[in-house]
């Protein structure tokens, strides 16, 4: 299942916060700073990054039917937003949250005493929307923000010291999913 981004993330570090770090007090370079923030976040938290979704966003996965357990990619999963499916008659139904359980390893399974409903079997008959990211009070968010701030500052100042990449890797090490 390939996750489809439904609600994109807000920047982890906002422009005003970054301008304070950089000592910038006008808006002449806002677009440049915003592009540096976007580039850093894409590099760190994109497909080749640390494999942890930090900022809140909503994804959807689609499949023809329910598997015994369904792994939701792009975690950590905060919550299941909605599960819809086409029943045997092709009518779209919304699955009650009492029918399934979200496990701590981002898998969906039927709740105790429940089973998945039958579907029409059509391609994309099942659609699962779910929110991912780290809670605002999760200390890993601050680690991620520090990496973004450091990356942007070094690029903004046009400094590329020999240990720069290693420094960023070390800041992000606690977030990396192996």
- Per-residue pLDDT for the chain (178 aa), expressed as one digit of tens each? 788 989 988 889 999 999 999 999 999 999 999 999 998 888 887 766 776 788 889 999 999 999 999 999 888 899 999 999 999 999 999 999 999 999 999 999 999 999 999 999 899 999 999 999 988 889 989 999 999 999 899 888 877 666 677 777 778 777 765 4
**Annotated domain spans of the chain:** 13-53+139-175, 57-132
Q: Which pLDDT belongs to residue 161?
A: 63
In this prediction, residue 105 carries a pLDDT of 93
Taking each helix axis from N to C terminus, what angle separates 139-156 and 30-45, rounded to the nearest 10 degrees? 130
Position 47 scores a pLDDT of: 63
Question: Given this model, what pLDDT does residue 178 score?
Answer: 45
Vertex 163 angle, CA 161 and 164, to 5°? 65
**What is the C-alpha separation between 18 and 150, in angstroms, rounded?**
10
Distance CA 133, CA 135 (A): 7
β-bridge pairing 70-71 and 100-102: unpaired
Report the C-alpha gap between 174 and 37 in whole angstroms: 20
Structure tokens at 85: 């499916």
């Amino acid at each position: 299942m390939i996750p489809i981004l439904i609600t994109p993330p807000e920047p982890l570090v906002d422009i005003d916060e970054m301008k304070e770090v950089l000592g910038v007090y006008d808006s002449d370079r806002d677009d440049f700073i915003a592009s540096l923030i976007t580039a850093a976040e894409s590099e760190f938290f994109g497909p080749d990054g640390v494999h942890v979704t930090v900022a809140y966003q909503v994804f959807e996965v689609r499949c023809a039917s329910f598997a015994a357990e369904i792994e939701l990619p792009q975690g950590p999963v905060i919550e299941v937003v909605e599960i819809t499916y086409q029943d045997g008659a092709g009518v779209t139904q919304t699955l009650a949250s009492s029918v399934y359980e979200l496990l701590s390893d981002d898998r969906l399974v039927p709740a105790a005493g429940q089973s998945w409903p039958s579907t029409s079997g059509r391609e994309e008959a099942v659609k699962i929307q779910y929110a991912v990211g780290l809670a605002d009070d999760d200390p890993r968010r601050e680690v991620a923000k520090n990496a973004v701030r450091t990356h942007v500052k070094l690029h903004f100042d046009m400094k590329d010291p020999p240990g720069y990449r290693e420094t960023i890797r070390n800041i992000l090490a606690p977030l990396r999913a192996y």
